[in-house]
Structure 1
Amino acid sequence: MNYDKKTVKDIDVKGKKVLLRCDFNVPQDKTTGAITDDKRIVAALPTIRYLLEQGAAVIACSHLGKPKGEWKESLSLAPVAARLSELLGQDVIFAKDIIGADAKAKAAALQPGQIMLLENLRFDKGEEKNDPAFAKALADLAEIYVSDAFGTVHRAHASTAGVAAYLPAVSGFLIGRELEIMGNALADPKRPLVAILGGAKVSSKIGVINNLLDIADTIIVGGGMTYTFIKALGGSVGTSLLEPDWLDYCRDMMAKAKEKGVKFLLPADTLCAAEFSADAKPELVDTMAIPEGRMGMDIGPKTIQEFSDAVKGAGTVIWNGPMGVFEFPAFAEGTRAMAKALAETDAITIVGGGDSAAAVTQLGYADKMTHISTGGGASLEFLEGKELPGVACLLDK
């Protein structure tokens, strides 16, 4: 896939109406509806401010939650409009619909330097179906399309891909940075390239491992997916997470790594426990010999040392997925140690979205990373080398 896409800086937006796809899918208090974390709104501000300063009239749009094409008051974007207005220090006009009379009238009246927000895109069934009529109606509100919601680019929805059939399409600053940093890491990495893969299941990382075997110099495996590899090597895994259907795949991947000269590192020691509980007592064992009735919960000290050493000499490190059950303090050390190793290396450090991004932020190392991806599923598909519909539709430089 071509990652060299045009951004807002490559086009003239002065006096133009710009349809801006944001990711305002923010967490809210279930009782009051108050926004509990506005990070995603804050992340959109640089692109919004740039467009307004350049004299564009901005028509922002986003989804929120999963209303499945039905109107739900609890999932209205009205609170987002209010918060965005506070952050920008100017009025954000809110449309009570998406492509209806209110949105059309407000979009038509919108002046350069003004911003409006459409109601939740997913209130219309046409959004997730990528219905051409819905996409065309959205596009008719504006003259230029700017995509800045990286967390949704792996989905071919009307607002992420469909509208690009009717409008010139470029990226905002968020997506521009994702493409520049993650694209370079995959297309022309500073070597050695070390990929750290964690998380629960091998099955969710198949495409990533396949793709990285052709790119990486070292692949490190931790988290729950470890134990399917260990079982494939003939080890005993007790009651650890196991995907028996993927044993042959694990053997094939390890053989392929050997054939290609890619170092494939698995944990040497494991912290295990008798039950999946925050209060469970950690026991340190050899990863190849986890006792019956015990489940692997984190990597051990020997593994932490080995994995950290691999990171020290890296040119680029890509990390996706925690090393253990980091939400339980007794089993968080492996993930914490990897975050620390990334923070202390001189390498380009890229943290995939989702749990690893949450862990790095929670552990206080976020500002030490070169890049933390804003997309969970999108960054995973990016690492798989898949074509992302919301990126493929943007104009090439």
Structure 2
Amino acid sequence: MSWKTLDDMDLAGKLVLTRVDINVPMENGRVTDDTRIQRILPTLRDILAAGGRPVMLAHFGRPKGKPNPDMSLRLVAPALEAALGQPITFFEKPARADLDALPEGAVALIENTRFSPQETENAPEMAAFLASLGDVYCNDAFSAAHRAHASTEGVAKLLPSCAGRLMQAELSALEAALGAPKRPVTAVVGGAKVSTKLELLGNLVHRVDTLVIGGGMANTFLAAQGIDVGKSLAEHEMTDTAIQILETARVAGCRILLPSDVVVARAFEAHAECEVVPADACPADAMILDAGPDATAQIVAAFEASKTLIWNGPLGAFEIPPFDTATNAAAQAAARLTREGRLISVAGGGDTVAALNTSGAGTDFTYISTAGGAFLEWMEGKTLPGVAALQG
């Protein structure tokens, strides 16, 4: 990869335009989860330590190109100040002279970039205005890197540019998982629908050695092979597509791992009465809600035979016990192998992060991305505009 990091830039005395993701959840005017704020602190502190002054650019909510006081970054500033341990100067629309007047060691925050329609349009005029406010551009918002916006892509082409620490960690982890991975590579793809992850599956069968398919997606693949899945969630209209993916994988030499046994229940509710049956023996009045113990053992064996694991999506209805059993067991096995130095494990996506945190295994994974859409598009093999703009 040819992108630069903060270590490659001369920041002393410079204004460093720093694109961050502080799109945090709020309730009654207070930030309820400051994870995203905590994740940008290393970048801000390293810029300050190098003698630069960070000028943060960010979006908040979906104001649709119009100012909205409920989506002002002014609301996030107190939580930022508390986390960073110093005051932050807030600007609605600064001139360069305003920023030049900031003292050494100052940190600035500019109002929500999406208050202007020119942000999402990636208008040259807005990119030029943003570029006029800084000497160096640093993108630390991988989660917004799949958007070609003025603050993520346009301005990067107008200033010396680099990746911040969070962006650097994301890109390094993903490169290790899919770019030039240690083999064998296993991927876990779960979730409800095949239709939402067609591009992902199509890319992975050419990139990994074993592909574990779980959740409702697995039901669709079982049904495509003529197996009766009862009342399970399944996309029966995707039969031809599922068969095509299986054939593509066969030709590519990618092993597809579908559940050999499953956990079924008549009710989709916590602690519902359930039983384990072979995957081809789901009762007509029941639903498949999790992978069974034999299937879980096969997944763990695949992990043990691998050197790299990339994970997106749960193996069952993990929100409702006991249908979180397979996800938890597989996650804990991946965590153990990572602790032992036998596995590089990278995971991402909303449900994935929640499932791994619920299992208690997340802290031991090599890297967990909170980027959502950008993480998925990377796995799909797409070029991310915000990353491409950093490459020299």
**Corresponding residue for residue 360 of structure 1:** 356
Q: In the alignment, does 2:45 pair up with 1:49?
A: yes
Cα distance 1:105–1:232, how it changes in 2: closer, same or farther (>3 A)? same
| Deviation of 1:107 (Å) | 2.2
Aligned to 1:21: 19
SS at structure 1 position matched to 2:319: coil
Note the alpha carbon deviations across 1:51-108, whole angstroms, 9 max, x for none.
Answer: 011111111011111121222222221232111111222111111x2xx3x4655323
CA contact (8 A) 1:223 1:297 kept: yes
CA distance in 2, matches of 1:321, 1:370: 17
Distance change (3 Å), C-alpha of 1:340 and 1:103: farther
Q: Distance in 2 between matches of 1:277 and 1:122?
A: 40
Moved more, 17-26 or 231-240: 231-240
TM-score normalised over the length of structure 2? 0.95
Report what 1:153 is aligned to. 145
Most deviating of 49-58 and 257-266: 257-266
Cα distance between partner residues in 2 of 1:71 and 1:134: 16
Residue matched to 2:315: 323
Local SS of the residue matching 1:151: helix
Q: Corresponding residue for 2:67?
A: 71
The size of the alignment, in residue pairs, is: 388
Mapped to 2, the partners of 1:369 and 1:377 lie a distance apart of: 20
RMSD of aligned residue pairs (Cα, Å) = 1.6
Q: How far apart are residue 160 of structure 1 and its match?
A: 1.0
Q: Deviations over 1:286-337 (max 9, x none)?
A: 2223222322211111111111111112100111101111111221111111
2:366 pairs, out of 365, 370, 376, with 370
Decide whether the 8 Å contact of 1:4 with 1:179 is kept in 2. Answer: no
After superposition, residues 219-298 of structure 1 pair within 5 angstroms as 219-278=211-270, 280-298=272-290
Query: What are structure 2's unaligned runs of at least 5 residues?
Result: none
User: SS of the residue aligned with 2:26?
Assistant: coil
Contact map agreement 1:269 1:302 (CA 8 A) in 2 = yes
Cα–Cα, structure 1 residues 291 and 10, in superposed 2: closer, same or farther, change >3 Å? Answer: same
Quote how far apart the aligned CAs of 1:362 are. 2.8
The answer on whether the counterparts of 1:19 and 1:60 sit within 8 Å (CA) in structure 2 is yes
Corresponding residue for residue 214 of structure 1? 206
> Contact between 2:332 and 2:360, CA under 8 Å: does it hold in 1?
no
Distance in structure 2 (CA, Å) of the matches to 1:320 and 1:267: 17
Distance in 2, Cα, partners of 1:106 & 1:81 = 18
Aligned counterparts of 2:281 and 2:377: Cα–Cα separation in 1: 34
Shift in Å, 1:146: 0.4
Residue of structure 2 in register with 1:182 after alignment: 174
- Structure 1 stretches of 4+ moved >4 Å: 102-105
Structure 1 CA distance, aligned partners of 2:273 and 2:59? 43
Shift of 1:279: 5.1
| Secondary structure of 1:225 counterpart | helix
| Alpha-carbon displacement from aligned partner over 1:234-268 (angstroms, at most 9, x marks no partner) | 11122222223321111111112222222110011
> Following the alignment from structure 2 to structure 1, what is the Cα–Cα distance between the partners of residues 120 and 70?
19
Verify: 1:384 aligned to 2:392, yes or no. no
Is the 1:16–1:112 Cα contact (8 Å) retained in structure 2?
no
Distance in 1 (alpha carbons) for counterparts of 2:2 and 2:270: 45
